[in-house]
Amino acid sequence: MRMTLSGFKILKVRGSLNFLTLVLAMSILSSCGSTKLAYKDLPVDQLYIEAQKSLDRGEYLMSAISFDQVERQHPYSLWAKRAQLMSAHSFYMANDYESAILSAERFLSLHPANKNAKYARYLVALCYYEQIADVRRDQNFTEAALDAFEQIVRLYPETDYAADARVKINLTLDHLAGKEMEIGRFYQTAGEFFSAIGRYNNVLKDYQTTSHTPEALHRLTEAYLALGIIMEAQKSAKVLALNYPNTDWNRFSAELLNQHAN
């Protein structure tokens, strides 16, 4: 989904910056050229235009630092406020999510009622979202992204940002449910059936609208049967049959119960 902020398109760059590009960029910033950048005796609007040109050329790290210079050299100008947010955007485009979050949150702390505050919050959420790891790793970024997107929906329900946030909320919930399933399957394979049941029930309680619910119900059937708790196994299989009758998971549970009965 494309978002706009005062006339430019927000496009996500896939992948990480080439290492050589980063080295060259940092070399430029530490050279005499960076001194000229930091101390150019130019009007504030010209400094801003040069930073925007770097952004347009795809020099995202350079544009972020250039926008920072606008604020540092002219902190009380009208351009400084916009430069703060543009710096956060540029860091995001450079895949420097930590710097982007810091810049966006600083903008929000200084200008909470600004018309672009909604974009700043959305940018923070995107930065967490882009750092979501696979289900085998810690899910702190997933939870942070979920909280940030829910805040956007709560504060700006009728905006395009909220519409996109709702989609990403579903994706983050699915990811968190996948983590619970991954842990549950691990416990089940290790014969720790009660621990596995706890994880599958978490999916049904907290993430019941996700794609993992049918499997969670089937795995509950498996775990209860392994423990000899037949009535609970039949209950989970019945819920599965009623709500997801055409899934493979329903067929697997039905076959499992039939085998057990025979």
Coil, helix or strand at residue 138: coil
Residue 180 lies in a domain: no
What are the distances in angstroms from CA 228 to CA 192, 223, 255, 257? Answer: 14, 9, 17, 12
Domain coverage including residue 106: 39-124
**Residue 235 placed within a domain:** no
State the CATH number of the domain containing residue 79.
Answer: 1.25.40.10
pLDDT of 74 reads: 87
Q: Does the residue 57 lie in any domain?
A: yes
| Distances, alpha carbon 103 to alpha carbons 39, 194, 200, 234, in Å | 21, 45, 39, 54
Which carries the bigger pLDDT value, residue 134 or residue 238?
A: 238
pLDDT per position as a tens digit, 203-235? 999 999 999 999 999 999 999 999 999 999 999
Distance CA 25, CA 112 (A): 32
Q: Does 259 have pLDDT greater than 80?
A: yes
Residue 145 within a domain = no
Task: Report how many domains make up the chain.
Answer: 1
Is 90 exceeded by the pLDDT of residue 71?
Answer: no
- With a CB cutoff of 8 Å and minimum separation 6, the contacts of 12 are 93, 126, 130
β partners of residue 10: 3
Helix, strand or coil, per DSSP, at residue 94: coil
Average of per-residue pLDDT values in the chain: 85
Dihedral pair phi/psi, residue 137, rounded to 5°: -115, 170
pLDDT given for residue 75 in this prediction: 84
| Cα dihedral 38, 40, 41, 45 in deg (nearest 10) | -90
Tell me whether residue 96 is in a domain: yes
Rounded to an integer, what distance in angstroms lies between the CA atom of residue 173 and that of residue 167? 10
Q: Which of 92-96, 108-112, 129-133 has the lowest mean pLDDT?
A: 129-133
Inside any domain, residue 110: yes
Q: What is the pLDDT of residue 198?
A: 97
Domain-located, residue 195: no
Written as six digits, the tokens of 92 are 């995001």
| Token output for 100 | 């982007």
- CB-CB neighbours of 34 under 10 Å: 17
Residue 113 in domain: yes
Residue 112's Cβ-count burial label (10 Å; 0-12, 13-18, 19+) is exposed
Q: Can you give the pLDDT at residue 144? A: 94
